[in-house]
Amino acid sequence: MKQRLGASVLAVVTLGAAYFFAPSRSGLQTPWFNKSPWFTPNPPLNAVKSQPDITAVLLNWVRLANVVEIVSVLCGVDDVIQEVVVWNNNPRPLKYEDFAKTNCSPQKLRIHNSPENLYFQARFIACANASTPYCFIQDDDYLVKPEVIRSLRARIDTHDIYLLPPDESLSSHLLSVSSPSTNITFGFSWLGYGSLILRSNAESFLSLLKRIGASEEENKMADNYYSILRNSVPEVWTGCPIPLGGGGDFTVGEEGVARNRKHIAAATNYLDKIVANQFAAQSASGEWPYVSLTPSDPGPRLERSPCLERTCVLESTIQFLPEAFTTSIYQTAVQIFSREAELATALTPEFISNYANFSLSCAVDADQTTSFRSFRNAVEGDILILDNFDGVQQMNWTGVQWVWLVDDSTAMILKASTYSFSADKRTWVESSGSTSCTTPSNNISSSESGALECYISIGGPSFETARYFQTRLGKAALNVPWRIYETWLRKETAVDT
């Protein structure tokens, strides 16, 4: 039931869904390095609790075939998903037999035939009534791979995580306001591409909608309100969920776009009134459920992408966006569309094409025919961090090589960088290993010739607890952009050393 923001924002930045979902980006191909032990299917993560603690919530309307396919995937993620809830908004009742080919047990699959179509409000109700602390939310026209769900679970802590394709990730940057002086800080994000949220957030969000007197229509369009009313910068992962199609899109044409923008505007109006305490009659104490009212500096917004074919996440401080995104300041939430229009003028066609086709996710999608390319040249202080979730000792590895498939210019960047590891992402231990680059012996089908395989042996005191691996560019006048076809960790053997 995807309700994308639609042509309004996407026309401003000239993005379309066809940009992103070419077959080579699905992660379904077998990469040339697939025989590496690192790329075999992952066992359950040690970083994740041994008992599954996620309820997956899926809405059904008119794409039952898609829902059945998605359920078959979700039911197979036994190590993290405890229950799958199909909330049926369609008047035709569903029964367990409709899902017979999913091989999902009646104990794990729960079907709720709603007496009325509650639209997107339904997923928050389902989550609020779950028995688990976390809920995985997705729409019925995209497929999220199991390793991405595992990565979301391994990473989630005290706040929700949203998975978005590159176009929606850019829209999230556009549709944001950061004004610490007025205590307004948020970014808009859809949930339906694959999001892991706290059940407690779903509960308090529904309480907030009731407290502010949201109308029936506003409740049903709850997706448009959820990320905005939280009043905090969302953690967004840029990835490539696999499109399933099937027709029946909720947002169609100008009417659908106008509806979405109407409710986004309503959400910002509510937020401004809450922060200004203009609901005094309803909340004499000034306290509100769900909304974060503690002033904070959001700091730099990192780019993050989940790995495919293995369980990890790559994040970076590389400057992905034009300067206008950090210097353009608005003080109220209702100015969101004014800020969007201003920021859109800073987006050139070249920037948009690069962001769309060469996102950070391309560096960890297990497909050497794609690549991450920074729009700007690499600069001193650029950081890339690979979160492996499990410590080296937990994987029974005695040595690790950090491997990069890159062009010759990025090989120079890597050789000018330092490498370190950490157990907690706070205390870092620098590794003394040097960077070596060779021509891969495997037959690379990369779209560009000259790719090099660079690798660095990582080690040092307390290495057995290493979970995070970091590279930081030092002083170097290189004047070249990053270009990474793929990066991953592999077990170092005696032969390697």
Q: What is d(CA 189, CA 178) in angstroms, rounded to the nearest whole number?
A: 15
pLDDT value at 283 more than 70: no
Residues of the chain with CATH 3.90.550.10: 7-275
pLDDT value at 82 more than 90: yes
CATH of 7-275 given 3.40.50.300, 3.90.550.10, 3.40.50.1470, 3.90.420.10: 3.90.550.10
Residues of the chain with CATH 2.60.120: 371-497
Q: What is d(CA 272, CA 265) in angstroms, rounded to the nearest whole number?
A: 11
The per-residue pLDDT for 11 is 44
- Mean pLDDT, the chain, whole residue set: 87
The per-residue pLDDT for 31 is 35
pLDDT value at 301 more than 90: no
pLDDT value at 259 more than 60: yes
Structure-block tokens of residue 162: 């949203």
Give the model's confidence band at 339: pLDDT under 50 very low, under 70 low, under 90 confident, else very high.
very high
Among 249, 240, 157, 127, CA closest to 194 = 240
List pLDDT tens digits, range 430-479: 998 899 999 986 655 554 567 999 999 998 888 999 999 999 999 887 89
The per-residue pLDDT for 281 is 53
| Angle (nearest 5°) at CA 175 between 226 and 318 | 110
pLDDT value at 239 more than 90: yes
pLDDT value at 243 more than 90: yes
Residues 9-18 have a mean pLDDT of 37
pLDDT value at 344 more than 80: yes
Structure-block tokens of residue 267: 């959400």
Query: In sequence order, which ranges of 55-139 are alpha helices (DSSP H)?
Result: 64-74, 121-128
Q: At what angle do helices 336-344 and 166-174 cross, to 10 degrees?
A: 120
Residues 192-205 have a mean pLDDT of 98
Q: Is there a contact between 366 and 310 (Cβ–Cβ < 8 Å)?
A: yes
CATH topology of domain 371-497: Jelly Rolls (2.60.120)
Q: Is there a contact between 196 and 156 (Cβ–Cβ < 8 Å)?
A: yes
Residues 327-351 have a mean pLDDT of 91
The identity of residue 100, as a single letter, is A
List pLDDT tens digits, range 108-122: 999 999 999 999 999
Give the model's confidence band at 34: pLDDT under 50 very low, under 70 low, under 90 confident, else very high.
very low
Residues 372-378 have a mean pLDDT of 96
What percentage of the chain has pLDDT greater than the value 70?
Answer: 83
The per-residue pLDDT for 6 is 45
- Least confident range from 52-56, 214-218, 389-393: namely 389-393
Using CB atoms within 10 Å of the CB of residue 262, give its burial: 0 to 12 exposed, 13 to 18 middle, 19+ buried: middle
First to last CA, the chain: 52
Q: What is d(CA 196, CA 203) in angstroms, rounded to the nearest whole number?
A: 14
Among 74, 349, 32, 301, CA closest to 194 = 74
> What is the three-class DSSP state of 171?
helix
Give the model's confidence band at 261: pLDDT under 50 very low, under 70 low, under 90 confident, else very high.
very high
